[in-house]
Amino acid sequence: MKIDVIGGGPAGLYFAILAKKSFPRFDIRVHERNQADDTFGFGVVFSDATLDNFERADPESYEAITSRFAYWDDIEIHIHGAVHRIGGNGFCGCSRRTLLLLLQERARALGVELIFRAEIASLDELRASDLIVAADGINSRVREDNKAHFGTAVDLRPNWFSWMGSSRSFDAFTFFFKETEHGICIAHCYQYEADRSTFVLETDPETFVKAGLDRMDEAASARFMEKVFAEELEGHKLTTNRSLWRRFPMIRNARWTMDDRVVLLGDAKATAHFSIGSGTKLAMEDAISLHQALVAEHGDIAQALHRFEATRREEVEKTQHAADVSLVWFEHVKRFWDMDPLRFSFGLMTRSKSITFDNLELRAPKFIRDVERHFAREVRAHGHDVDVERPLPPLFQPLRLREMTLENRVVVSPMCMYSAKDGVPQDFHLVHYGALALGGAGLIVTEMTCVA
């Protein structure tokens, strides 16, 4: 069995490792256009849950990688001079270069052939392959050459961003929100090794043009952002590594496989916005899933590819949805700019809907208590007599709606039952709405009735 992997990033290397472990007699080659120690970007980030998946898949590479990680538990949010720190998040980071070198070492040890400075211009070059894994990244040539088949959809989002680095250390995943004379600038920051941190810089289209970033080269834009975040950098500089300003492409494909022998993997297949830190996670978990499908189908390529897409698509789409909601929040940050910093921070933490009020209460109970007290003080300021020291959760706080005061903020909107007679509600409605009211909802929205 001959397998060719196009792309020596995390997805391609990790799949090659797992496949060679399970099928040592398979001839597996990885083709990478760059040199072995060339890598672009700075750090990559993973959650605790992701690490568990890596440990189960390949304990050897797990041990090598995790020994190089920087760990943190907190997220810190800086806005309007206020700082809010929220614990219970469980993340870690490492250098992308280190990750790739460790995966290369593991792949070689297992007998995977690594071919560098190898550009695959056409799939015709790999006619002898039984399986071609296209892990060639966000600008995948395989996908673009066959986008009609894959049903590729690319949504280029409006905000501009650039990956830079710094020698400033962080002990938390940190967000900086700064208002400049040109507009709002955002920095997403995390440490990935000693004295090395990632700075992902983001701004909206109007600010990008007003600041002149569209006319600056890589070095000039770094110096400009150093001035914007001078206080936050604490005397440290920003470093660049192909730190080009670009817009994020939301990539989806209706089909992930072609001809029962070609499969897209990682960013070639689907992207997730950097604001949820799941790009490398998705790529490596794709590799795990494809490997599991290959094992389950006993090396039958066609059946394995069908199984991979059938079992993996839902999880990928869930992650993409969370990422899409998150990126839209950052695109519309002006909506929330005048909020109190505490409410702003709560909105940021719950933006993707994967973290809820209840979930955050388990992770960071003190932060939630502060949110509840702040909300209760706002309710009291609107004339309601509520306890601000031991407040009810926001959902159960009263709300004045024009001349009506609701006891809480629970709203029930029943299904239309179409049971009115000549447009007049009947005893059915009394029982129907009465039963719903027993639940204690503050407001029940009745169905529409029409006069016959």
- What would the pLDDT profile of 395-443 be if each residue is shown by its tens digit? 999 999 999 999 999 999 878 888 888 888 889 888 888 888 898 999 9
What letters, b where the CB count within 10 A reaches 16 and e where it falls short, cover 181-212?
ebbbbbbbbbbbbeebbbbbbbbbeebbeebe
Output the pLDDT for position 451: 66
In order of 1, 13, 53, 127, 437, the CA distances from 59 in angstroms are: 25, 15, 10, 34, 55
Say what the pTM is: 0.91
Q: What is the pLDDT of residue 436?
A: 86
The packing angle between helices 48-57 and 279-296, to 10°, is 30
Q: Position 336: which residue type?
A: F
Residues in the chain, pLDDT under 70: 451-452
pLDDT of residue 200: 97
pLDDT of residue 452: 56
Residue 209, H or E segment: helix 205-210
Contacts of 269 (CB under 8 A, 6+ apart): 143, 251, 253, 256, 286, 316
Q: Residue 344: helix, strand or coil by DSSP? A: helix
Which long-range contacts (C-beta less than 8 Å, at least 24 apart) are formed by 422-425?
A: 422/451, 422/452, 423/449, 423/450, 423/451, 423/452, 424/449, 425/449
Rounded CA gap, 187 and 87, in Å? 19
Q: Are strands 70-72 and 91-95 parallel, antiparallel or unpaired?
A: antiparallel
Q: Read off the amino acid at residue 100.
A: L
How many CB atoms sit inside 10 A of residue 370's CB? 15
Per-residue confidence (pLDDT) for residue 181, from 0 to 100: 98
Q: What is the pLDDT of residues 18-67, one digit of tens each?
A: 999 999 999 999 999 999 987 777 999 998 878 899 999 999 999 999 99
Q: Enumerate domains of the chain plus CATH numbers.
A: 2-328 (3.50.50.60), 341-409 (no CATH), 412-444 (no CATH)
pLDDT at position 34: 93
User: What six digits make up the tokens of 275?
Assistant: 């604001």
The neighbouring-strand residues paired with 92 are: 46, 71
